[in-house]
A and B are shown apart, each in its own frame.
Chain A
Amino acid sequence: MTTIKSRGTVTIDVDTCKGCELCITACPPRVLSMTDEVNHLGYRYPQLHPGCTGCAACLMVCPDFCFEVFRFDEPVMTDLAGGAEEQS
């Protein structure tokens, strides 16, 4: 079983996203992927997976100001097999 540590997380304002995908490549731990759904503007938008470090690279490269970035008081561990989150 793999456990992934997330030091941070983000909120994503999906309705403002224009689907440019700059955040996907900018994210150093590569924890963002694009959805298959579209928002009300017709754009696909990013979604977050475990492993975020709270580095805010996504926020810095997002032209549409979609992100807020947070760091957890204690890192959150995610077990991949079960997918459940627990505080470590």
Chain B
Amino acid sequence: MSGEHEGPVGPVLDTSAPPDHAKKVADLKPDLLLTQEHNMCPGCGEPLALRVYLEALQELGVTQRSIMVAGIGCYTAFTSTVDVDLVQALHGRAPSVATGAKRMRPDAVVFTLQGDGDMVNEGLQEVLHTAARGEKVTCILLNNGVFGETGGHMTATSVLGQRTKNSLDGRDAEYHGYPILIGDLIARLQGAAYVARGSVHNAGAVARTKKMFRRAFESQLRGDGFTFVEVLTMCPTGWFIPTGDGPEYMHETLGEVHIMGELKVGGVVKTTEELHEENAARQREVEHALERGGLDR
């Protein structure tokens, strides 16, 4: 939320060591992440998604039968630091690798980790066919609307008006065409069982995204079919904005085009209008809670 806030008051407290007379309620990093260190840019949203899907796997008790298939992008760096059996695929080609792995290991939880350049540009055919065939894998899309690793170039999900290194005046419909709303496309394929689009622009969104991951993995475990979780992530570097502006920028640009919500549950596809209504209703609830003084001051 933008607008006026009271800033912090009072002295700076010691945060260098765990406190006495307290219980830890949240760990530094997920157990499945071998080190917290990485070279993602300041303000990158990808680690936020990484955290919650690793936590989801652990909570479901499937860490010892999970196979991850990674695409190529900034997130490829995590292939060394996630404590999950992993196969590296080529740019765009993780869904087919995941297909082969799942067919040979049907009891494993097989999922991909891909960016929008990887999945929606290079690999559009792969993910659509994998979904259409109902392969019992979960494809995870980290969608920041740019090719991050190469320095911030336009992808098939970049929104109109978005400036990137090869659309410096902003994406233009006439010259560059329109973005592909991949989650919406996939939701309409019969083989897709659960399709959701979350984001990591604030804590509430992160928490909702974690639920989406859980539902997707649970759906895979039930053998329902193809499952898909798209996560809108911040890329302040690729968006040419200060890190602190990332969440708002994302909410107002990508978030206005790639509408968040559970796009398909139990075979039922939600329309864009229904998603808008759900999101608006949630926003009203949050505002009421704030007005009622739900925060402890």
Sorted nearest first, the 6 A-B pairs with minimum C-beta distance are A57-B203, A65-B36, A20-B43, A49-B8, A18-B42, A20-B243
Q: How far is the CA of A41 from the CA of B12 in the complex (A)?
A: 22
Within 8 A of A (CB), among B1-57: 5-13, 15-19, 21-29, 33, 36-38, 40-48, 51-52
> Given A61-B202, A61-B203, A68-B24, are A53 and B243 also a contact pair (CB < 8 Å)?
no
Q: How far is the CA of A15 from the CA of B152 in the complex (A)?
A: 27
Q: How far is the CA of A62 from the CA of B297 in the complex (A)?
A: 23
Within 8 A of A (CB), among B237-251: 243-244, 246-247
Judged by a CB distance under 8 angstroms, whether B104 is at the interface is no
Q: How far is the CA of A80 from the CA of B9 in the complex (A)?
A: 8
> Given A65-B28, A70-B18, are A50 and B11 also a contact pair (CB < 8 Å)?
yes
On whether the beta carbons of A50 and B9 are closer than 8 Å, the reply is yes
A-to-B contact residues, CB < 8 Å: 2, 4-5, 7-13, 16, 18-22, 24-26, 28-33, 43, 47-51, 53-74, 78, 80, 83, 87
On whether the beta carbons of A11 and B17 are closer than 8 Å, the reply is yes
Q: How far is the CA of A29 from the CA of B8 in the complex (A)?
A: 8
On whether the beta carbons of B25 and A22 are closer than 8 Å, the reply is no
> Given A20-B43, A70-B19, are A48 and B13 also a contact pair (CB < 8 Å)?
yes
Which of A7, A16, A49 has a CB less than 8 Å from the CB of B296?
A7
Judged by a CB distance under 8 angstroms, whether B206 is at the interface is yes
Q: How far is the CA of A80 from the CA of B297 in the complex (A)?
A: 13
On whether the beta carbons of B296 and A5 are closer than 8 Å, the reply is yes
Q: How far is the CA of A22 from the CA of B6 in the complex (A)?
A: 17
Judged by a CB distance under 8 angstroms, whether B186 is at the interface is no
Decide if the interface of chain A is mainly helix, strand, loop or mixed. mixed
Can you give 15 contacting A-B residue pairs, CB < 8 Å? A5-B296, A13-B28, A18-B41, A25-B244, A26-B202, A47-B13, A50-B13, A55-B203, A60-B48, A60-B207, A64-B47, A65-B36, A68-B24, A70-B22, A71-B23
Residues of B within 8 Å of A18, CB to CB, are 41-43
Residues of B within 8 Å of A9, CB to CB, are 13, 15, 19, 22
A31 to chain B, nearest CB (A): 5
Residues of A within 8 Å of B33, CB to CB, are 65
On whether the beta carbons of B21 and A31 are closer than 8 Å, the reply is no
On whether the beta carbons of B8 and A51 are closer than 8 Å, the reply is yes
On whether the beta carbons of B18 and A11 are closer than 8 Å, the reply is yes
> Given A9-B13, A9-B19, are A30 and B24 also a contact pair (CB < 8 Å)?
no
Residues of A within 8 Å of B17, CB to CB, are 11
> Given A30-B7, A68-B26, A71-B22, are A11 and B16 also a contact pair (CB < 8 Å)?
yes
Q: How far is the CA of A26 from the CA of B12 in the complex (A)?
A: 18
Q: How far is the CA of A31 from the CA of B297 in the complex (A)?
A: 10
